[in-house]
Amino acid sequence: MEENKRVVSVLVPCYNEEKSLPRFYEETCKVIDSMKEYDFELFFINDGSRDATLSIIDELHKKDKRVSYVNLSRNFGKENAMLAGFDYVRGDCVIIMDADLQDPPALIPQMLQYWEQGYEDVYAKRADRGKESLLRKFFSLLFYKILDHSTRFEVLQNVGDFRLLDRKCISALRELRETERYTKGMFCWIGFRKKEIVFNRGDRVAGSSNWSFLSLFNLAIEGITSFTTAPLRFASIFGLVIAFAAFCYLMYFLAKTLIFGDPVRGFPTLVILVLFLGGVQLLCMGILGEYIGRIFNETKKRPPYLIDNYQRGEAVK
């Protein structure tokens, strides 16, 4: 490594990516090999893969001194895997990419160009979402709108983890050690000078996505409950509205009975009201339970991840 060169770390979280990794390495090397003005570090995080992902990464490490990797003791999830990368990368800036080549390596030179201009967070915004069902696209956009309108900072829509982060951004993210992580929100929360790049997201070169609809739903719940208390406020306001409506309904029937002597009737109405109010109570208890569960997990103070082994490349000191 030459002393006057700046170091760029390419951070790649991996989970069962044995079919994609060789192609990803080949395509990425074509780009970084042409940029002689930088020293590159290819940093892989094996997030408890059950296939040959770790073996492939280890072979890349043995043949390429730029390759480093961390092998986690089990699958901790992509959010925690990225935190492990933040803790161990050595670059002056870090480019986060997926191994499936949906994040095109061809954007790396443009990201570095904006970084040299002084931008500290160069994020890639998707012009389209590739091959996704209409239902999945609808719920994804709905989630971003809900989160954006319920937080005090801007939440970027159609922006994933593909971005360049300056070392000061990485240092800030390393300070955020909560176990219930939503990194896309953290990128917005830390601030710093940002720059947008619009690109067309490609399709996976091999294999299938590890994100099921249920996994994305759970991630959406974590994102909302991690960055806003709006659901709790909604439950409180909704409860007040229902209580006021119930009181008005009570006064109406009381007045009607006292003035007109109306006999006691309306059993179906009573059943509907009881079931409705019971459902509202369970909904509010569920919202409260989500936050209590996160408080419980945070109070245990367990580490976000555990490392089985760490192999450091020799090209970056």
Q: Which residues, in sequence order, are bridge partners of residue 200? A: 128
C-alpha to C-alpha distance for 17 and 82, rounded to whole angstroms:
16
Element containing residue 231 per DSSP (H, E): helix 230-260
* DSSP state, residue 162: E
* DSSP state, residue 106: G
As a whole number, mean pLDDT of residues 14-20 equals 87
Whole-number average pLDDT of the chain: 77
Q: Which residues, in sequence order, are bridge partners of residue 95? A: 10, 164
Q: Which residues, in sequence order, are bridge partners of residue 7? A: 39
pLDDT at 95: 92
Maximum CA extent, the chain:
95
pLDDT at 276: 72
Q: For residue range 183-239, list pLDDT tens digits in order.
A: 777 888 888 888 888 887 765 555 455 555 555 566 566 656 666 666 766 777 777
Between the two ends of the chain, the Cα-to-Cα distance in Å is 7
Q: For residue range 23-80, list pLDDT tens digits in order.
A: 889 889 888 888 888 888 999 999 888 888 888 898 888 888 888 899 998 888 888 8
Q: For residue range 126-165, list pLDDT tens digits in order.
A: 776 555 556 666 656 666 565 555 556 566 667 778 889 9
Q: Which of 310, 307, 297, 298 is nearest to 74 (CA)?
A: 307
Structure token digits, residue 218: 């759970």
Answer yes or no: are the C-beta atoms of 110 and 190 closer than 8 Å: no
C-alpha to C-alpha distance for 232 and 245, rounded to whole angstroms:
20
Q: Could you tell me the pTM of the whole model?
A: 0.69
Output the CA–CA distances (angstroms, integers) from residue 66 to 59, 117, 242, in the order listed: 12, 26, 62
C-alpha to C-alpha distance for 216 and 184, rounded to whole angstroms:
13
